């Protein structure tokens, strides 16, 4: 797990989340346990558990209530990653072979299903109607976002409204839920639950747009997966949509983005056309709007060190390179 200095307040508890996750995915089926542990050991920023723990920091930090929430959020997230790698035919994630690459589609789908089932075990033990309702609703919407993305593959006529619909469901809703649930199980006032949810939603939107920018600007060694993956898979992202509006070579770019079997040379050409159009700067201006919005919600919360940590985390999400 890649620890961030921004998590200094909760690092020991994040390590406990990690330890409990490893214990929780143990099973009598060796291949299933191996694949789940492989995914866990690939690391990640563990943002969703961190958001839940930080939200609870404002309200007495009832760790034993927060732990199962943090774990269930990460299990749901991990399950979606495994399933995404099957859909996208991804070979690497975070610099390591995916479960799909090591064990194939059948084991990958079974692993994702197993992780989802284990998250349900935890949710049942939490025994809080709002927690189960929110996570159920979010899971349904995440599935809708995934289906929408699959249906819209290689469709160069997509607009930003459709893009926002997808990233809200694929990314923002689970981060929003992480912040809200950490507050809810800590008995936060209703107004502050709303504020933390608004912060999480804005952060989630910014996070995904930055991810989409990094797909065309980052170094593969930093990103942990091949650059241009969205281009190859036909996923239309904000930089692509804006570039199609602004590029001086719209027809060429439209052809490249709509082509299903691009060569590596064509991917590189499309990336250069996107960069030349000014779409990266425009996308980052949109990120900045979301980051400012996220920070504005924090003004509703108690002025304690955790509030500054959340503000710093918002800035990290904007400036990150991986």
Q: How confident is the model at residue 45 (pLDDT cuts 50, 70, 90)?
A: confident
**Confidence check: pLDDT of 3 > 70:** no
| 103-142 residue pLDDT tens | 999 999 999 999 999 999 999 988 888 999 999 999 999 9
As a whole number of angstroms, the distance between CA 119 and CA 71 comes to: 8
Can you give the residue range of the structural domain that contains 30?
12-319
pLDDT in tens, 279-322: 999 999 999 999 999 999 999 999 999 999 999 999 999 999 88
Rounded-to-integer distance, Cα 18 and Cα 74, Å: 10
d(CA 221, CA 55): 32
Is residue 1 very low, low, confident or very high in pLDDT (cuts 50, 70, 90)? very low
Residue 295 resides in a domain: yes
Model confidence at 235: pLDDT above 70? yes
The Cα angle at residue 203 between residues 15 and 199, in degrees rounded to 5: 95
Contacts for 306-312: CB closer than 8 Å, 24+ residues apart: 306/9, 306/54, 306/57, 306/58, 307/58, 309/6, 309/7, 309/8, 309/9, 309/54, 310/54, 310/199, 312/6
Share of the chain above pLDDT 70, in %: 98
The answer to whether 52 and 102 are in contact (CB under 8 A) is no
**Residue 159 located in a structural domain:** yes
Number of domains in the chain: 1
Q: Look at 191-200, 211-220, 251-260 and tell me which has the smallest mean pLDDT.
A: 211-220
Looking at residue 4, what is its pLDDT?
A: 61
Instruction: Output the domain CATH number for residue 59.
Output: 1.10.600.10
Note whether residue 3 is domain-resident.
no
First to last CA, the chain: 14
Q: Residue 112: inside a domain, yes or no?
A: yes
d(CA 154, CA 244) in angstroms, rounded, equals 13
Task: Kindly report the backbone phi and psi dihedral angles of residue 93, in degrees, each rounded to the nearest multiple of 5, phi listed first.
Answer: -150, 130
Task: Tell me which of 9 and 213 has the higher pLDDT.
Answer: 213
Full 3-state SS string of 119-158: HHHHHHHHCCHHHHHHHHHHHHHHHHHHHHHHHCCCCCCC
The answer, yes or no, to whether residue 243 has pLDDT greater than 60, is yes
The average pLDDT across 39-66 equals 92
Q: Using 50, 70 and 90 to split pLDDT, how confident is the model at 43? A: confident
Whole-angstrom Cα distance, residue 11 to residue 194?
26
Residue 151 counted as domain residue: yes
pLDDT bin (cut points 50, 70, 90) of residue 246 is very high
Residue 1 lies in a domain: no
Q: Cα–Cα distance between 242 and 230 in angstroms, integer?
A: 15
Predicted confidence at residue 79, as pLDDT, reads 95
Tell me whether residue 312 is in a domain: yes
What is the model's pLDDT at position 227? 86
| The token pair that represents 55 in the structure block | 């939200």
């Amino acid at each position: 797990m890649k620890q961030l200095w921004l998590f200094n307040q909760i690092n020991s508890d994040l390590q406990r989340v990690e330890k409990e996750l490893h214990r929780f995915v143990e099973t009598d089926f060796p291949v299933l346990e191996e694949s789940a542990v492989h995914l866990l050991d690939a690391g990640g920023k563990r943002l969703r558990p961190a958001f839940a723990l930080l939200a609870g920091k404002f309200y007495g930090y009832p760790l034993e209530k927060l732990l199962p929430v943090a774990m269930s959020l990460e299990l749901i997230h991990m399950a979606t990653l495994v399933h995404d790698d099957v859909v996208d035919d991804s070979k690497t994630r975070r610099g390591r072979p995916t479960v799909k690459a090591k064990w194939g589609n059948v084991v990958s789908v079974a692993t994702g299903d197993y992780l989802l089932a284990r998250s349900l075990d935890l949710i049942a033990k939490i025994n809080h109607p709002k927690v189960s309702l929110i996570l159920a609703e979010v899971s349904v919407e995440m599935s809708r976002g995934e289906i929408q993305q699959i249906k819209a593959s290689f469709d160069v006529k997509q607009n930003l409204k459709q893009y926002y619909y997808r990233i809200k469901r694929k990314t923002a809703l689970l981060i929003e839920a992480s912040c809200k649930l950490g507050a809810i199980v800590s008995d936060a006032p209703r107004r502050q639950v709303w504020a933390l949810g608004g912060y999480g939603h804005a952060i989630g939107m910014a996070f995904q747009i930055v991810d989409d920018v990094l797909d065309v600007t980052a170094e593969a060694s930093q990103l942990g997966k091949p650059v241009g993956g969205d281009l190859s898979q036909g996923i239309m992202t904000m930089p692509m949509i804006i570039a199609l509006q602004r590029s001086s070579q719209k027809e060429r770019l439209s052809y490249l983005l709509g082509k299903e079997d691009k060569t590596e040379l064509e991917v590189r050409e499309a990336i250069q056309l996107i960069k030349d159009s000014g779409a990266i700067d425009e996308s980052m201006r949109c990120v900045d709007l979301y980051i400012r919005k996220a920070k504005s919600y924090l003004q509703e919360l108690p002025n304690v060190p955790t509030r500054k940590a959340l503000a710093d985390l918002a800035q990290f999400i904007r400036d990150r390179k991986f």
